Structure 1
Amino acid sequence: MGDIFDDERLYPHQGTIKEYFKDHYDSVFIALLPFFQLDRKETDKANLKKSKLLSHEEALKEIDLLKKLTEANRDIYSYDNDRYPADEEIFWKGKPIRWHNIVKGSDLAGYADLNTALRTSIGALNRNFTRPDLMEKLNNYTDSESIYHPTEGDLGMLSKMAIYKAFKLLGRDQIMITDEFYEQTSTVDLDRLTEYGFCDQIGGKDYYLYSADKEILFTTEWDSFFFLIATDHKKMDQLIASNLFEGFLCNDKTEHSWEYTLE
């Protein structure tokens, strides 16, 4: 298969995940992007999500190109929501909410239903696979509890904080950060950065984080509400014991679209 680092193939879009990484890592974990609440008196309940489904009129105002196209049955989403909490506020005031709690509170069946609800909410699914009923259950609960949704394709502040702690736990201080299209890779030294400083170094499209010795990799892709942690089983045992991440280990059948096969 070649070297996934040299070949710039750090995310397994197709096939089984463990098979994809077998030449580099023997253990892979699906880490779920946490929901969160903020420690403040007032919550803007209309802005609990980064994305927003635009009406046709709103879309025409935001996207000039649409004026040249015939009106069609298309969903347009905007991520220009400046009322969604900024990273610095999430760092200082954010309280992570686990998917387990969201599932229980919203009366969804499990992680698979929740992932489907989230993907439905951003228009990421073919219409044949959308589940507005699951999305409604999710939104009813998060709206009632003032719980913010994670943003897909973005590690997010709370996950970056956990990743920082994970690198420290495993004694890895030289960290590589690579963007989605492999156009730029930077190296940071955790000994010279605070936790916030590290998180601030990672941009919204920085999808691949790994130790300089390549013994642990964090990787995501643009449409997901989760990321992958790939390493050896001994380090993975340490990470699972640390309880820094919520999720589950990949088995031999787990694929990127794990919600369809999760048992």
Structure 2
Amino acid sequence: MTDRVLPTPEKYASCPYDEKIMSFYEGQFECVYVLLHPFFKPISIDIERFCPSEWPDKHEIINGCDSISWSEILKLSGLNSLSDIDIGLRTSIGGLKKELSNEQFSNKLSELEKKNIIHPQEGDISPLLENRLFKTIQTLGHNWLWVGDEFGTERKLHWIDDLLEKSQVPSHGSVFTHDHSLLVTTHWDSHCSFLCSSKETIERVLSLEPFEGFYCTPKTEVYWGAHEI
């Protein structure tokens, strides 16, 4: 019997796992920008809704929550760097090896719950970023986007206006343009997404929407908070 081995996923439609980000995308994308998923605070949604069985949908969060940047979280938590936040978030979900985790960082972020501040979800494009990204991609001249799973085995072409109205992106999914020039993907254990394209295109995106984040260097790893970024 022949073993069923999946083909290697196309780089324009997939996400690195535990490696240097730019090395993974070499030959496909010139540049990668790490999009930090905002924390958020419910304004018109009962805080009790934020549990797995009753979690609000995308539009409820967009319309009913305030977005809180990582820069603001540094001020509120007393942490010193974006890396501290990343390590604290990953520690809180058990996403780091023991020697890399930091319970002190995690506890400082947990203290924010007293102020009704919700942690960003890992593994999914933030609902507070999703439609902003889609509208920006439209402005760049794209009307269609492929939406696929994390393994590159399933994908479907969507009209962007339809994506704005519904939640169609799967957990750990990838969203990419038909010409393979732009990709947004989310690592399953991360509270950020990767925006991959040319430097010119990403600069254009950021001029339209100043998404909080940072550019990858050749040394930036998927678990970037625990390494040099």
The question of a shared fold, defined as TM-score above 0.5 by the shorter chain, is answered with yes
Shift in Å, 1:14: 4.2
Q: Give 5+ residue unaligned stretches, structure 1.
A: 51-80
Matched, 1:154 2:158: no
Match of 2:64 in 1: 93
210, 214, 225: which one pairs with 1:259?
Answer: 225
Match of 1:167 in 2: 137
28, 31, 37: which one pairs with 1:27?
Answer: 31
Aligned length: 223
Shift in Å, 1:166: 2.4
Q: Judging changes above 3 Å, is the alpha-carbon distance between structure 1 residues 4 and 219 closer, same or farther for their aligned structure 2 residues?
A: farther
Match of 1:111 in 2: 82
Contact 1:4–1:10 (8 Å) recurs in 2? no
User: Following the alignment from structure 1 to structure 2, what is the Cα–Cα distance between the partners of residues 41 and 183?
Assistant: 36
Q: Which amino acid aligns with 2:140?
A: L
Shift in Å, 1:225: 0.7
Shift in Å, 1:33: 1.1
201, 209, 215: which one pairs with 2:168?
Answer: 201
Contact 1:91–1:196 (8 Å) recurs in 2? no
205, 213, 217: which one pairs with 1:247?
Answer: 213
Contact 2:38–2:128 (8 Å) recurs in 1? yes
Q: Which amino acid aligns with 2:157?
A: T
User: Following the alignment from structure 2 to structure 1, what is the Cα–Cα distance between the partners of residues 142 and 47?
Assistant: 38
Please, what TM-score do these two structures have when normalized by structure 1? 0.76
Q: Judging changes above 3 Å, is the alpha-carbon distance between structure 1 residues 121 and 7 closer, same or farther for their aligned structure 2 residues?
A: closer
Match of 1:210 in 2: 176
User: Following the alignment from structure 1 to structure 2, what is the Cα–Cα distance between the partners of residues 90 and 41?
Assistant: 8
User: Following the alignment from structure 2 to structure 1, what is the Cα–Cα distance between the partners of residues 175 and 142?
Assistant: 12
Structure 2 residue matching 1:193: 3-state secondary structure: helix
User: Following the alignment from structure 2 to structure 1, what is the Cα–Cα distance between the partners of residues 137 and 198?
Assistant: 14
Instruction: State the Cα deviation string for residues 34-75 of structure 1 (Å, max 9, x = none).
Output: 11112227533xx76x5xxxxxxxxxxxxxxxxxxxxxxxxx
User: Following the alignment from structure 1 to structure 2, what is the Cα–Cα distance between the partners of residues 91 and 129?
Assistant: 33
User: Following the alignment from structure 1 to structure 2, what is the Cα–Cα distance between the partners of residues 25 and 176?
Assistant: 17
User: Following the alignment from structure 1 to structure 2, what is the Cα–Cα distance between the partners of residues 8 and 237?
Assistant: 19
Q: Which moved more, 1:210-219 or 1:12-21?
A: 12-21
Please, what TM-score do these two structures have when normalized by structure 2? 0.87
Q: Which amino acid aligns with 2:212?
A: E
User: Following the alignment from structure 1 to structure 2, what is the Cα–Cα distance between the partners of residues 4 and 29?
Assistant: 23
Q: Which amino acid aligns with 1:227?
A: S
Mark the structure with the bigger radius of gyration: 1
Matched, 1:234 2:204: no
Contact 2:12–2:176 (8 Å) recurs in 1? no
Contact 1:176–1:186 (8 Å) recurs in 2? yes
Q: Judging changes above 3 Å, is the alpha-carbon distance between structure 1 residues 16 and 4 closer, same or farther for their aligned structure 2 residues?
A: same
Shift in Å, 1:236: 1.0
Q: Judging changes above 3 Å, is the alpha-carbon distance between structure 1 residues 89 and 103 closer, same or farther for their aligned structure 2 residues?
A: same
Residue identity over aligned pairs, in percent, reads: 25
Q: Which amino acid aligns with 1:111?
A: L
Shift in Å, 1:10: 1.9
Matched, 1:126 2:82: no
Match of 1:75 in 2: none
Shift in Å, 1:156: 2.9
Shift in Å, 1:228: 0.5
User: Following the alignment from structure 1 to structure 2, what is the Cα–Cα distance between the partners of residues 131 and 82?
Assistant: 29
Matched, 1:16 2:31: no
User: Following the alignment from structure 2 to structure 1, what is the Cα–Cα distance between the partners of residues 163 and 214?
Assistant: 29
